[in-house]
Amino acid sequence: MDHLERLRCFVAVADTQSFAGAARRLGCSAPAATRAIATLEQRLGAQLFQRSTRSVRLTEAGERFLLDCRRILGDLDASEAAVAGAQAEPAGLLSLTAPSMFGRMHVAPLAAEFLQQYPRLRMKLLLVDRVVSLLDEALDLAVRIAHLPDSGLTAVPVGAMRRVIVASPDYLARAGEPRSPRELAGHRIVAGYFDGQGMTPWRFRDGSQALTPTLMVNDSAAGIAAAEAGVGLARCQIYQAAQALQAGRLRIVLADHEIPAAPVHLVHAAGRRVPVPLRLLIDHMAARLRDQPVLAGEAFLR
């Protein structure tokens, strides 16, 4: 293998976490892939993978080098595509992850639009309620609804998301509307729990309130449905209750006590030189998501 082929082999091993898997992807033998990585490590003077009988994992140096390799190979592929005149009709596989309910409601429809526009592109959509490592799971793009930690990833802002407390008009007529977080102690509470954890205190601008839930549920849609049925007050991201709020089946309470809206970003690891298909996807998703009322933060359903 020449040096460029060794770089592609390195990316393939990182993606598949397997020399055999990389060899299958590249159409070479597993010993050839192993030799290519050994030669690359010798050239760099650094170990790129931690190897065991059961796994192949990137070292810290390998993770940094992978970001550069993806950018370099992406730039090369884009340049070759431009020369070949293929930029007008991009092809290949793009992978995107988003929170489950937000993904179903707002990301999957945009992905379908995008694929209609670019029929030679394919897409893998991973909808899960956990933070997914783009590098570990070989993903191109992620939707993040949270304040982001410092990292080597590139973040494109697309809006902000309120976290609100809602209840049905029927429940509020029976139990009264709380005017401050302290009054929540006298109300029935619908709470979410995830990963086996109990209910966490609800946070407000001036502190937090520990509460005893009437109903705990590990599915956001089920919690919203319970609030609509009059079980009690529920706390959720505003997009989860938007349809019920617009239809009058739910009302927002304690809006003046909400914590600031959380930023929403599209996050990728491609650096400044983004491959053409990914750039097209980012531009499409960013423009369409910024038009969504639920991402208008404080202004929506105030």
Q: What is the pLDDT along the chain (302 residues), one digit of tens a residue?
A: 789 999 999 999 998 889 988 998 888 999 999 999 999 999 999 999 998 888 899 999 999 999 989 888 888 877 776 666 555 678 889 999 999 999 999 999 999 999 999 999 999 999 998 888 888 888 999 999 998 887 778 899 999 999 999 999 999 999 999 999 999 999 999 998 876 667 889 999 999 999 999 999 988 899 999 999 999 999 999 999 999 999 999 999 999 999 999 999 999 987 767 888 999 999 999 999 999 999 987 666 66
Q: Which domains does the chain have, with CATH numbers?
A: 3-83 (1.10.10.10), 92-161+262-299 (3.40.190.10), 163-257 (3.40.190.10)
- Please tell me the distance from the alpha carbon of residue 274 to that of residue 187, in angstroms, as a whole number: 50
Within 10 angstroms of residue 82's Cβ, the number of other Cβ atoms is: 12
- Please tell me the distance from the alpha carbon of residue 300 to that of residue 102, in angstroms, as a whole number: 16
Residues 6+ apart with CB under 8 A from 200: none
- Please tell me the distance from the alpha carbon of residue 192 to that of residue 220, in angstroms, as a whole number: 7
Q: Tokens at residue 34, please?
A: 């192993």
- Please tell me the distance from the alpha carbon of residue 289 to that of residue 296, in angstroms, as a whole number: 10
3-state helix, strand, coil in the chain (%, to 5): 45, 20, 35
pTM (2 d.p.)? 0.70
Chain centroid offset of residue 294 CA: 17
Picking from 227, 204, 202, the residue whose alpha carbon sits closest to that of residue 212 is 202
Structure-token match 């970001």, residue found: 67
